A and B are shown apart, each in its own frame.
Chain A
Amino acid sequence: MNALTSYLGSKVTPGQAGNQLWALIYVFIIFAGVALTVMWLINWVERKALAHFQVRLGPMRVGPHGLLQPFADALKLMLKEDIIPDEADALVFWVAPVIGLLAAFTVYTVIPFGPSQAVSDMNIGILFMLGVSSLGVLGIVTAGWASNSHYPLIGALRSSAQMVSYEVAMGLAVVSAILMTSLNAQGSGTLSMIGIVRAQQEQHVWFLFKFFPLGLIAFVIFAIAMVAETNRAPFDLPEAESELTAGFHTEYSGLRWSLFMLAEYAAMMAVSAIAVTLWLGGWMHPFPNFLSSPAWEFIFSLFPGLSFAGFAAIAFIGAVRMPSQAFFRIQRAGLAVFAALLGLIALLLLAIAVAGRANDASIASRFREGIDYVYWFLLKIAVFMYLFIWYRATWPRYRFDQLMKVGWKVMLPISLGVLILTAIVGVIF
């Protein structure tokens, strides 16, 4: 009990406080949250957004506006026959998706959702993230190899070449951001994810705008490389449907296949989190320095509640606008209940925002702060997730040699140049 309560007043991460119990609770919350977001929210949003890009409706039948479709799909995938091809290397075939999933989820231990809202504040945080997330390629390569089939093999080879190439440009872009953290009085930079956000706070600027346009270029390089890193369109060559049927997971079905999907989406969120942390000020709300008066703080703290109120309103309008035939009665009721649920969350969040408006050490205030941090962080990630979907709807796919050309001949020189310029500018000013 002592372990449970002693942490509550603390202003550091459970990892730093040495509180294993709370660290475990955080891990559980993050794991469940990510899995649910990926499985339900992103799945649904992607299908709906993509459908609307393509003048379709998307899922409409399972649940109101297809809200329960992801659950139906998950159920279907779990009940599917689990096939391991005869010729496949059964053990490696079995391990491959697990490697991918582990790599994708392990990085969440250092993602700072807030100054204390992280499992741990590792002093080599960003290095750890890049290292572990690049282990994901192992899962893909082993999957392609173990399938003992041509399409997966080619997909896996493409994937490994692609991920290794783009990691170079990505790493250099990250280094240029890390260089910026060292521009303080002590001249000491940091690799800690929380430290990087703090550095942006202290320097009164998001690194996106620092040394304009150097920070912006580095960010764009990273934003492109992270799409390639996660094998998403237009760099989705490893699973290029029209060429390799499904690439490295051609032979996978059912739960194993869904593990790959889970890993892919978790990795997308993880790299988005890196981009948010390094260039977009992490958990900070917009203009943290100009708009930091208590009044502004209060207005910003209303945002989470208002967002949910907005969702609730959308769901409610959807319920009202549903056709009045008997066929839609249950769907309409379901959507109304969902709207009410969202409304309740909105009310709760607003209540917390109002109760915790005094910036003191009270529990309500602590809660309010935490919700703010997590909200802004997740909002920024959501923007990236939407961009991922947008890319997929808009662009054709690169060819393998063109992908390599872009990676090595365009992105690498630019990121090197930005790194050198950042170093020079940093020394001069």
Chain B
Amino acid sequence: MSDAPMIGKKTTDTKDTPLPNAVPDLATSHLDLETPDKPYLDSNELILNMGPQHPATHGVLRVILKLDGEKVMGTECVIGYLHRGVEKIGENRTYTMFNPYVDRMDYCAAVSNGLGYCEAVEKLLNIEAPERAQYIRVILTELQRLASHQLWLGTHALDIGAMTPLFYTFRDREEILKIFEKYCGARLTTHAFRIGGCQYEIYAGFEKDVKNFLAFFPPKLDEYEALLTGNRIWIERTKNVGVISGKDCIALGVTGPVLRASGVKWDIRKAVPYANYSKFDFEIPVGTNGDTYDRYLVRIAEMRQSLRIVEQAVNGIPEGPIMAKVPKVIKPAVGEIYHSIEAPKGELGYFIVSDGSTQPYRMRVRPPSFVNLQALDVMVRGALVADVVAVIGTFDIVLGEVDR
């Protein structure tokens, strides 16, 4: 029986380097949970079980921390508490029937999930949504990105101890959810899009509502920034916390704002344009240090860019149909497709294998949160317990998407 449970690399390797840039051998990372609990009070190392019920794990993530005092020697994520077998359900439903299920993965960004799925199936069917539908899709998806980032900002700030931003962001997120509700009747799991376009025509006054929001939101964004961006405690808590290099991000498959904050200019909206993003003028904000503060700034800047996209889109909605010609029974030809979009949290990909029947032969989702989460260990080694909370928050994980 070993003295103390080991996680990943030997602790002596990481003792002097607070945040190793080398990617640890995650395959061998496991915790010896079979060993009965030692009387911990007289040992230096402490196994702290954070979650699955814990205020800062954003749902039911369980993180096992090995601590030396307050210093984190290693972590292990235990996931699956919210596993619903979404992928398997997808293989037992027709293409149309599975559409609402994807909303339940990242329930904070349901519209984005739906967009990715609908586009993947459209690609498989070799059809394209009409221009008008594309515009509606872009507006709603970018609004969803704003809502998702707002939720992230509020909860992230709450994790770091600032109670108030949470209420401000929720107050303003409400305006977006109202637009969703008016558009499709639902606020959270919207099921806004259909394969081949949109089911609903925009309601009368949709454009006015969106334009009102565009005027309403920037001052609120400044308000959040006034509370946090220059706040000394906020800067101290986030600067140089959870640093990860662009190289490590790529090695670990990290995408989204986390990747961009590390200086890698990779945004699928620009790199592999989908929907009609190539028509809009926007920038990809990137960070330099790859720390929690940069990720915060990148997301704030992204919100401003999203507003730009929405503004361009809402002013240019063309006339025309909102549904392409889609067969009543969707039966794609034999083949496979991988389609990914830039969800608020990173690259959201759908890999669908069709055997020519009404149901996919294989449905695989590449969720950004799940992949990003594996960088947790790299980012928090040598940091303090409080940093673990900050780093979990900075990933913007949604456990529904991690566990699927």
Give chain A's interface residues, CB within 8 Å of chain B: 50, 53-56, 150-151, 153-154, 158, 233-234, 236-237, 240-245, 392-402
Contact = CB atoms under 8 A, between A and B. Distances in A.
A3 B56 CA distance: 59
A216 to B, nearest CB: 20
29 contacts: A54-B167, A150-B46, A151-B48, A154-B46, A154-B385, A240-B161, A242-B158, A242-B160, A243-B56, A243-B388, A244-B385, A245-B54, A245-B55, A394-B164, A394-B227, A395-B162, A395-B231, A395-B233, A396-B157, A396-B161, A396-B228, A396-B231, A396-B234, A397-B162, A397-B233, A397-B237, A400-B385, A401-B70, A402-B237
Nearest to B393: A242
Interface in B170-226: 171
A242 B55 CA distance: 5
A242 B168 contact: no
B389 interface: yes
B159 interface: yes
Contact of A400 (B49, B163, B171, B386): B386
Given A400-B384, A400-B385, 8 more contacts: A150-B49, A153-B41, A237-B386, A394-B162, A394-B164, A396-B228, A397-B237, A398-B233
B236 interface: yes
Contacts of B388: 243
Nearest to B228: A396
A54 B163 contact: yes
Contacts of A233: 161
Contact of A54 (B159, B164, B233, B385): B164
A241 B160 CA distance: 10
Given A55-B167, A241-B55, A243-B56, A396 B384 contact: no
B194 to A, nearest CB: 37
Interface core residue of A150, A233, A241, A242 (most chain B CB under 10 Å): A242
Nearest to A394: B164
A237 B233 CA distance: 13
Contacts of B389: 242-243
Given A54-B163, A150-B48, A236-B161, A396 B233 contact: yes
Contacts of B302: none
B263 to A, nearest CB: 25
A393 B164 CA distance: 6
B168 A55 contact: yes
Contact of B163 (A151, A237, A244, A392): A392
A233 B228 CA distance: 16
B233 A234 contact: yes
A242 B161 contact: yes
B387 interface: yes
A243 B161 CA distance: 9
Contacts of A53: 164
A241 B47 CA distance: 19
B171 to A, nearest CB: 6
A240 B390 CA distance: 13
Nearest to B53: A245
A72 to B, nearest CB: 23
Contacts of B41: 153
B48 A395 contact: no
Given A395-B233, A402-B236, A243 B386 contact: yes
**Chain B interface extent, by class:** 35 or more
A154 B70 contact: yes
A234 B70 contact: no
Closest 4 CB pairs of A and B: A397-B161, A54-B167, A242-B56, A396-B162
Given A242-B160, A243-B389, A398 B55 contact: no
A86 to B, nearest CB: 14
B54 A234 contact: no
The binding surface of chain A is classed by DSSP as: helix
Contacts of B236: 398-399, 402
Contacts of B160: 242, 396-397
A399 B235 CA distance: 11
A234 B234 CA distance: 11
A427 B338 CA distance: 82
A392 B162 CA distance: 8
Contacts of B47: 150
B384 A399 contact: yes
A234 to B, nearest CB: 6
Interface in B360-404: 384-389
A398 B237 contact: yes
Nearest to A393: B164
A233 B41 CA distance: 28
B296 to A, nearest CB: 12
B387 A399 contact: yes
Nearest to A56: B167
Contacts of B46: 150, 154
A241 B54 CA distance: 9
Interface core residue of B171, B233, B384 (most chain A CB under 10 Å): B233
Contacts of B384: 399-401
Contacts of A395: 161-162, 231, 233
Nearest to B69: A157
Nearest to A246: B55
Given A55-B167, A56-B167, A150-B46, A242 B159 contact: yes
Contacts of A401: 70, 384
Interface core residue of A151, A393, A399 (most chain B CB under 10 Å): A399
Contacts of B163: 50, 54, 392-393
Contacts of A400: 70, 384-386
A396 B385 CA distance: 16
A154 B67 CA distance: 11
Contacts of A398: 161, 233, 236-237
Contacts of A242: 55-56, 158-161, 389
A73 B399 CA distance: 33
Contacts of B386: 237, 240, 243, 397, 399-400
Nearest to A51: B167
Interface string B18-58: 00000000000000000000001100001111000011100
A53 B163 CA distance: 10
A206 to B, nearest CB: 29
Contacts of B40: 150
A233 B160 CA distance: 11
Interface core residue of A55, A395, A400 (most chain B CB under 10 Å): A395
A55 B165 CA distance: 10
Contacts of B164: 53-54, 393-394
Contacts of A245: 54-55
Contacts of B233: 234, 395-398
Nearest to B235: A396
A396 B237 contact: yes
A428 to B, nearest CB: 36
Interface core residue of B47, B159, B387 (most chain A CB under 10 Å): B159
B171 A399 contact: no
A170 B118 CA distance: 63
A55 B237 contact: no
Nearest to A241: B55
A150 B160 CA distance: 20
Contacts of B234: 396
Contacts of B70: 154, 158, 400-401
A233 B162 CA distance: 9
